[in-house]
Amino acid sequence: MTDKNKQLVSTISDDNKLTLSLKDIDMPQPGPDEIVVRMEAMPLNPSDFGVMFSAADMSTATQSGTDDSPVITADVPEKVMPALKTRVNKDTPVGNEGAGTVVAAGSSEAAQALMGKMVAVIGGGTYRQYHCVNVRSCIEMKDGTTATEAASSFVNPLTSLAMVETMRAEGHKAIVHAAAASSLGQMLNRICMADGIDLINIVRKESQEKLLRDMGAKYVVNSSSETFTKDLTAAIIETGATISFDPIGGGKLSSDILNCMEAAITHDVEEYSVYGSDAFKQAYIYGALDRGPITLNRNFGFAWGVNGFLLFNALGKLGSETVKAMRKRVAEEITTTFASSYTHEVTLEEALQLKSIAAYGKQATGEKYLIKPQG
Amino acid sequence: MTDKNKQLVSTISDDNKLTLSLKDIDMPQPGPDEIVVRMEAMPLNPSDFGVMFSAADMSTATQSGTDDSPVITADVPEKVMPALKTRVNKDTPVGNEGAGTVVAAGSSEAAQALMGKMVAVIGGGTYRQYHCVNVRSCIEMKDGTTATEAASSFVNPLTSLAMVETMRAEGHKAIVHAAAASSLGQMLNRICMADGIDLINIVRKESQEKLLRDMGAKYVVNSSSETFTKDLTAAIIETGATISFDPIGGGKLSSDILNCMEAAITHDVEEYSVYGSDAFKQAYIYGALDRGPITLNRNFGFAWGVNGFLLFNALGKLGSETVKAMRKRVAEEITTTFASSYTHEVTLEEALQLKSIAAYGKQATGEKYLIKPQG
């Protein structure tokens, strides 16, 4: 264990500039229930970009600094600055998850038991070389699991599992998923196939449709098709899906989904009801790929909900026994059901190159970056 | 008890016409658990207009028939006809509630006990002279209660009480109410004052602001004011309201409310969170005064829900013990907390006059019609 440790931070200054840079930080000392992890692999997830880029206009980004100490600067629009006031002039650590080897452990039995193990960790800015976390914020991986395999053990695996468990807990029997060709969408598809749950995948390109069908997906509908709402309604009639998950948010996709659910539920109903069907229809929005307004064209009666969906809140609702079982399943199936793949590996320094940012910032299907911070 | 009975029905024909008329119907015979009520007073509530006018363009309404048998006809836009297919060429009875005297009762003890009593009833098309209902669909009023006093015992009293009980059940501590100068809004105001609950009333006119303040309302904000969101945020900071009820739906009012809640919750928070506050913010939409799209401008993080709110569904969630207590409270406080007032009384025939429809169809604050069907 060296004395050197560095961390990727995002800083917004009061002159409306975003700066991304690497900062030298102290080597951490673990408390009784803490471990120090030598971080070896961390994914660049869409959920990291909210902290990393914030509301900066990345088309204005410029590069400075050196190869060893790169600096990215971009303009933050004046009008969004009030909403960011609690961030101004503070270094905010970036990175929600990652994996590595435990190189120091606190005095508690739980911490000591992890010494030398491969663990996946969540939270607190994982884009650094050595990270100190509470034992509760990590999953012990099976022997032989590599850091690259373990890097994405929390965000996508637990979010997609939480969707399935939420479906069960709330009494639905099939799921509609939007932007379904994403890494998370592919994982959800594998979980649903393994568990025998009907999943309707909404994509917007034929190539994504093919990708999912080749994986074995039974229901794939294309939102760019002229027959989209007809196709979606038909799939909902067949599956009985009354819950949806949408990472886009802005626009009218969740509204379309609710209207198709209502059309499916009432398609063979003889009796008129001015209040719509009694069947409860739930649309969860778990991201903000489109930050524009969410538009609800309400032809779906009164038995409906549109809710934000955030992993931590969802886990809180599911309860600790369910969450414990979910974590165990992730560790056991990390190279199968919950496997992630990456198209590029970069160092912390390479992650702060304009051309890398241009690539991973696009959030294109099939492009996924992994940071390997030990060089 | 005479042999004559008539009923107000709404009919949509396959040539895109809405017809409102009075139909002679049979005098009902009660089953074991049923009672026949001589209907004496029924309110014209906004919630009745969905069935009555449906999606017809009432600006095209014309009058025909006779004084004793008036007929109103209006055009239904072609494009909405598919959504109304289950209504076409059927007489749909109108009227959600009303009150009167029990003139016949079935054989069961519960039914017999109501013989000769004043009862309030719900459901099934109350705009008729004699109505047969299950004993579970009525509230026995206290001796001396008049039909006019009892007419509005269900829709507004139970809806406003259900809002308060939902607030309690879901762990909120204060309420935001939109279109707050309505009959229902005034009732909610009285309940909240009686129960010591902070209520923030949103109105859009100064006269409505005055009306509520004169009733003793502490928090009234005007959505037409330039300082609306600032005023609303300040009231939420003071009260801690995290649940709202909005009968409008279309537009961005519920979105504004959620954003003001988030601003209030985070106004003194030092730490930045990209996901917004953890405090759950709930916006219920209980009407469709504006049928246009609901627009959500999402600056309120991920801990939020926007849901339809319908009395029957809400009662189902609250459970039978709570509902029983709610009904008892309504009967006890029908001339105080739950009192309604009416500006006009009309017969069934007079309700089907164009000038009456023009007046009550406006749903203006302070204009409220009561049908007295026994002439």
pLDDT digits 0-9 by tens, A53-73: 999 999 999 999 999 999 999
What is the pLDDT confidence band of residue A142, given thresholds at 50, 70 and 90? very high
Q: What mean pLDDT comes out for the span A137-162?
A: 96
State the pLDDT confidence band at B333, using cuts at 50, 70 and 90. Answer: very high
pLDDT, position A367: 79
- Cα–Cα nearest to A285, from A241, A242, A247, A243: A247
Query: Rounded to whole angstroms, how far apart are CA atoms B159 and A348?
Result: 57
pLDDT at A264 over 70: yes
Provide the pLDDT for residue A1: 55
> pTM value?
0.90
Residue A365: pLDDT over 80: no
What is the rounded CA–CA span in Å between residue A258 and residue B249? 16
Quote the minimal CA–CA distance from A256 to chain B in Å: 12
Burial letters A26-65, b for 16+ CB under 10 A, else e? eebebeebbbbbbbbbbbbbbbbbbbbbbbbebeebeeeb
Q: What is the mean pLDDT of residues A208-218?
A: 97
The arithmetic mean of pLDDT across residues A159-168, rounded, is 97
For residue B64, the cross-strand partners are B71
Cβ contacts of B320 within 8 Å, gap of 6 or more? none
Q: What are the tens digits of pLDDT across the range A79-130?
A: 999 888 889 999 999 999 999 999 999 999 999 999 999 999 998 899 999 9
pLDDT tens digits, one per residue of B130-150: 999 999 999 999 999 999 999
Q: How far is B216 from chain A (nearest CA, A)?
A: 32
In the CATH scheme, what is the code of domain B156-316?
Answer: 3.40.50.720
* Segment A298-302 mean pLDDT: 94
pLDDT of residue A200: 98
How far apart CA A304 and CA A262 sit, in angstroms, is 10
B260 pLDDT higher than 60: yes
In chain A, what are the domain boundaries?
6-152+340-371, 156-316
pLDDT of A366 = 67
* B299 touches A: beta carbon within 8 Å: yes
Q: Is the pLDDT of residue A35 over 60?
A: yes
CA distance B190 to B188: 5
pLDDT band for B170, please (50, 70, 90 cuts): very high
Residue A123: predicted pLDDT: 86
Nearest CA in chain B to A294: B296
Nearest CA-CA distance, residue B312 and chain A, Å: 10
Q: How many CA atoms lie within 13 A of B127 on its CB side?
A: 29
**Amino acid, res. A36:** V
Residue B175 near residue B261 (C-beta atoms within 8 A): no
Report phi then psi at A200, rounded to 5.
Answer: -100, 115
Among residues 328-367 of chain B, which lie with CB inside 8 Å of chain A? none
CATH number of A6-152+340-371: 3.90.180.10
Three-state SS at A22 = strand
pLDDT value at position B2? Answer: 63
Q: How far is CA A168 from CA A162, A172, A173, A312, B319, in A?
A: 10, 6, 7, 18, 22
Mean pLDDT of B293-312: 96
Pairing of strands B344-346, B369-371: parallel
- The answer to whether the Cβ–Cβ distance between B86 and A297 falls below 8 Å is no
Is the pLDDT at B345 greater than 90? The verdict is: yes
Q: Residue A268: its pLDDT value, please?
A: 87
pLDDT bracket for residue A364 (50, 70, 90): low
pLDDT of residue A230: 98
Residue of chain B nearest A312, judged by CA positions? B278
Residue B1: the pLDDT is: 55
Assembly ipTM: 0.89
A200-204, A231-235, B170-174, B267-271: least confident range = B267-271
Residue A212 phi, psi (nearest 5): -70, -40
Contact B102, B135 (CB under 8 A): no
Of B51, B270, B296, the CB nearest to A293: B296
Instruction: Name the A residues in 270-289 with CB < 8 Å from any B CB.
Output: 270-272, 274-275, 278, 286, 288
Residues 232-251 of B with CB under 8 A from A: 249-250
| CB-closest option in B54, B92, B302 to A309 | B302
